[in-house]
Chain A
Amino acid sequence: MKLTLALAQINTKLGDIDANLENHLALAHSAWKQGADLLIFPELSLTGYVLQDLAASVARLPNDQDPHLRKLLQASKDLDMIVGFVEADSRHRFYIASAYLSDGKITHLHRKVYLPTYGIFDEKRYFAAGNSFRAFDTKFGRAGILICEDFWHVSSPYTLWLDGADLFFLTSASPGRGITDEIIGSAQWVQDINRAYSGLFTSFFAHANRVGFEDGLNFFGGSTVFDPDGRLVTRAPFNEEGLTLAELDLAQLRRTRTRLPLLRDEQPELVQRELQRILGK
């Protein structure tokens, strides 16, 4: 089975959902015309990233009553989509969320668990943290979503892997840092861990990062797809807006895992025992 992925490496207007929605719909149409099955938008793609006090005003309940989400749900009848937004719950807590939209429905919603609040980041000041990593079924296989800092904790993809995910969809609004090497320092780190994860979990890892500036912060793009052998399938250009398509041969999962049965030999019960011992101390 083949899956044609499209990575939407976009810039956003800070706090302007109308403008960002328009861009989403245009890209969805373009990706669909190019034959994409699934289009992945970056973290907070509908709102922009450094929201600060804008967070509450751009937050949306995740249902088809919301006029913006309704239009995206409509578009998801043509192709599946992952979109990033600020989710409000009924009690006015705000989450950094990514929703999987398919055939007019939200089939999965991931709330960012790890909210970086150090250095240039201040997410806990504005957002509530999610509390679960759950794999979910798509037309193309079982998948998991992680948002930026989530995937800097190795337990996050590990949990999704044990929950059955073969397809990992990572979204970021990652600010660039480091100017000494061939590429931006933080771009190198992100690429290195995507490569490492795809090989260690013998799974597909697609990462959609945004571009553009918010004040002095630069989002570097360089979105990637790695296959279960840890090989780079495609990489979008750094700093340039655009759609990047990649055709994934899902049969690669069988070939790689036959050669390298890391999933078969994994011992989650051992991990459970040891975690119980460590946490019981």
Chain B
Amino acid sequence: MNIDLSINPDLVRDLLTRFLRSEISRTGLTRAVIGISGGIDSALVAFLAAEALGAKNVLGVRMPYKSSSQDSLDHAMLVIETLGIPHKTIPITEMADGLIQKFPEMSNMRKGNIMARSRMITLYDQSEAFQGLVIGTGNKTEILLGYSTLYGDGAHAINPIGDLYKAQVRQLSRAIGVPQPIIDKPPSADLWAGQTDEQELGFTYEEADKLLYLLVDQRYTPEEAIEAGFARQFVETVIRRIRRNHFKRVMPVVAKITTRTVGYDFLYLRDWGT
């Protein structure tokens, strides 16, 4: 089965730069703060933001931990220099290790979450200092699979690329001029040496994108996806991931005990009044 995820990059580029301008300016701000990891997602968001707001209004922040790879730092600098945006390098090692060192037996998962949340604290501090909104860099594949840290990389004000699958992020990145080495390298959260997303997930983004597209966008049933050629076990794994990680996609649950409750019957858009 031929599943085509290709997009019209000119159309999407125009929509997403308009989105960034509109949704930042109506908060009263004109600037953006982006954590630049050296990977493709944050590179694309930086390119979109620089186009939308002007390079001088986008702060690129590199936040290495002591185990972060030099490649990541170099690729992040390549994005910063290509765009000519103001930038800061704020290592998170001391901050993260303050907690990590208290627990010698700490798992990689816990350490990774602490690093992601240390970066969140750093970005939100820069948000106030630079007077810019923190822009999210999670793509649709990651969001659906829950491949993120709650209140870590999952914390941001707005996200221009959260409705684009990984393959579509690649296509748009090529069109907008993200440097080739960043497009070509294997995706990695770089929380520990040699980590890659696909190794950790146990399947490739290419497979996941296509299955998610059928299940989510095209509303295929699991059985229909299996008939379309996906292995039953893979389909079940992905569906389980989507369900189990849904808590990362919603606001914290409030117990409803009165006649009007935030989140249930007190409903307003964030853009209320603007």
A residues sitting closer than 8 Å to B (CB atoms) are 13-16, 50, 52-54, 176, 179-184, 212-216, 218, 239
Complex CA gap A183/B7 in Å reads 11
Q: Are B19 and A218 in contact (CB under 8 A)?
A: yes
State whether A13 and B273 are in contact (beta carbons under 8 Å apart), knowing that A53-B268, A179-B15, A213-B23 are contacts in the complex: yes
Q: Are B12 and A179 in contact (CB under 8 A)?
A: yes
Partner of B272, one of A15, A184, A218, A239: A15
Provide a sorted-by-A list of 25 A–B residue pairs whose CB atoms are within 8 angstroms: A13-B273, A13-B274, A14-B269, A14-B271, A14-B272, A14-B273, A14-B274, A15-B272, A15-B273, A16-B273, A53-B265, A54-B272, A179-B7, A179-B11, A182-B8, A182-B11, A184-B15, A213-B19, A213-B22, A214-B269, A215-B23, A215-B269, A215-B271, A216-B23, A239-B14
Complex CA gap A16/B271 in Å reads 11
Q: Does B82 touch A at the CB level, under 8 Å?
A: no
* B8 surroundings in chain A (CB, below 8 A): 179-182
* A239 surroundings in chain B (CB, below 8 A): 14-15, 18
Q: Does B6 touch A at the CB level, under 8 Å?
A: yes
Complex CA gap A54/B4 in Å reads 40
* Proximity bits, B239-274, A CB within 8 Å = 1, else 0: 000000000000000000000000001111111111
Instruction: Tell me, rounded to whole Å, the shortest Cβ–Cβ distance linking B231 to chain A.
Output: 27
* B19 surroundings in chain A (CB, below 8 A): 213, 216, 218
Q: In the complex, which residue of chain B has the Cβ closest to the Cβ of A239?
A: B18
Q: In the complex, which residue of chain B has the Cβ closest to the Cβ of A183?
A: B11
Q: Are A54 and B15 in contact (CB under 8 A)?
A: no
**B: interface residue count bin:** 20 to 34
Instruction: Tell me, rounded to whole Å, the shortest Cβ–Cβ distance linking B210 to chain A.
Output: 15
* B265 surroundings in chain A (CB, below 8 A): 53
Q: Are B18 and A213 in contact (CB under 8 A)?
A: yes
Partner of B270, one of A54, A181, A215: A215
* B11 surroundings in chain A (CB, below 8 A): 179, 181-184
Complex CA gap A182/B10 in Å reads 9
* A54 surroundings in chain B (CB, below 8 A): 268, 272
Complex CA gap A216/B274 in Å reads 14
| Residues of B1-57 whose CB lies within 8 A of A | 4, 6-8, 11-12, 14-15, 18-19, 22-23
Instruction: Tell me, rounded to whole Å, the shortest Cβ–Cβ distance linking A93 to chain B.
Output: 18
Instruction: Tell me, rounded to whole Å, the shortest Cβ–Cβ distance linking B266 to chain A.
Output: 6
Complex CA gap A16/B14 in Å reads 27
* A180 surroundings in chain B (CB, below 8 A): 4, 6-8
Q: Are A52 and B269 in contact (CB under 8 A)?
A: yes
Q: Are B266 and A214 in contact (CB under 8 A)?
A: no
State whether A218 and B271 are in contact (beta carbons under 8 Å apart), knowing that A53-B266, A179-B8, A182-B8 are contacts in the complex: no
Partner of B22, one of A16, A53, A179, A212: A212
* A216 surroundings in chain B (CB, below 8 A): 19, 23, 163
Instruction: Tell me, rounded to whole Å, the shortest Cβ–Cβ distance linking A36 to chain B.
Output: 27
Q: In the complex, which residue of chain B has the Cβ closest to the Cβ of A11?
A: B22
* B6 surroundings in chain A (CB, below 8 A): 180
* B163 surroundings in chain A (CB, below 8 A): 216
* Extra inter-chain contacts (12) besides given A14-B269, A179-B8, A213-B18, CB under 8 Å: A14-B274, A176-B15, A179-B7, A179-B15, A213-B19, A215-B23, A215-B269, A215-B270, A215-B271, A216-B163, A218-B15, A239-B15
Complex CA gap A216/B163 in Å reads 10
Q: In the complex, which residue of chain B has the Cβ closest to the Cβ of A240?
A: B18
Complex CA gap A176/B19 in Å reads 12
* A218 surroundings in chain B (CB, below 8 A): 15, 18-19
Complex CA gap A38/B239 in Å reads 53
Which of B7, B12, B273 is packed against the most chain A CB atoms within 10 Å? B273
Partner of B271, one of A181, A183, A214: A214
Instruction: Tell me, rounded to whole Å, the shortest Cβ–Cβ distance linking B143 to chain A.
Output: 13
| Residues of B87-117 whose CB lies within 8 A of A | none
